[in-house]
């Protein structure tokens, strides 16, 4: 059975995974903290594969073994603490943040290897699926400049699957009251999809803050 990260059970599983400091959120910058350009980045290791609730430290990580294109996540530079993950495999992995104001997570971010051969094809498939799901669909530009994943699709409301990873490890659905943005890029001949989902569309301003912080903390790993 494939894992549908953004359906109710998986969403709720993210809620209890906050850190001991009182949950995730965007932190105010500490003037005494070194910047990404001056600090020494710890040697990253791949996120462990698995389908379980995992607290992800605000430090350096690599995408799970076998994930292509390989990503490096320097979460200590995101300005955010309390990251969690429920699915990590060669075709997809996710990061989530709990919502202190509700039972569902504030946001879930999925990094997917799509079944389509190119980023353009992946976004075209998202548009078709979202339209078929009865969602409001429009093209948008996103914040993931370091990945080159700025072209995207905004999906509001609807009901039904919108995007899935190549092996079906993670599938994301449109849902009433929710909002999903999907971005895509190509790296070395391999497409990458970044999907950002909020179960409560009214919290989108906070989600945009999260995307802004995360965008500067994720890059393609150096060979």
pLDDT digits (tens, 9 = 90+) for 173-207: 999 999 999 999 999 999 999 999 999 999 999 99
pLDDT score recorded for residue 15: 33
Per residue in 76-85, pLDDT (tens digit) is 999 999 999 9
185's CB contacts (< 8 A; 6+ apart) are 119, 144, 147, 148, 149, 150, 151, 191, 192
Note the pLDDT of residue 100: 80
The pTM score is 0.83
pLDDT value at residue 40: 58
Predicted confidence band of residue 10 (pLDDT cuts 50, 70, 90): very low
CATH number of 8-17+42-220: 3.40.1000
CB burial readout 83-102, b (16+ within 10 A) else e: bbbbbbbbbbbbbbbbbeee
pLDDT above 70: percentage of residues in the chain: 81
Summarize pLDDT for 125-141 with one digit per residue, the tens. 999 999 999 999 999 99
Where exactly are the structural domains of the chain? 8-17+42-220
């Amino acid at each position: 059975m494939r894992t549908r990260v953004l359906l109710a059970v998986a969403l709720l599983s993210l809620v209890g995974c906050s850190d001991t400091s009182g949950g995730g959120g965007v932190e105010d910058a500490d003037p005494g903290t070194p910047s990404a350009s001056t600090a020494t980045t710890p040697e990253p290791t791949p996120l462990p594969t698995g389908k379980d609730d995992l607290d992800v430290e605000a430090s350096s990580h690599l995408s799970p073994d076998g994930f292509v294109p390989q990503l490096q996540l320097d979460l200590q530079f995101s300005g955010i603490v309390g990251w969690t993950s429920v699915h990590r495999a060669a075709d997809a992995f996710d990061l989530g943040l709990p919502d202190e104001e509700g039972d569902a997570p504030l946001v879930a971010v999925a990094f997917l290897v799509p079944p389509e051969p190119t980023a353009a094809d992946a976004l075209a498939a998202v548009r078709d699926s979202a339209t078929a799901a009865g969602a409001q669909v429009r093209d948008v530009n996103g914040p993931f400049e370091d990945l080159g994943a700025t072209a995207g699709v905004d999906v509001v409301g609807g009901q039904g699957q919108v995007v899935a990873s190549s092996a079906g490890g993670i599938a994301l659905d449109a849902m009433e009251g929710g909002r999903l943005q999907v971005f895509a890029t190509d790296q070395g001949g391999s497409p990458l999809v970044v999907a950002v989902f909020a179960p409560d569309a009214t919290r989108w301003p906070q989600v945009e803050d999260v995307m802004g912080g995360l965008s500067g903390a994720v890059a393609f790993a150096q060979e």
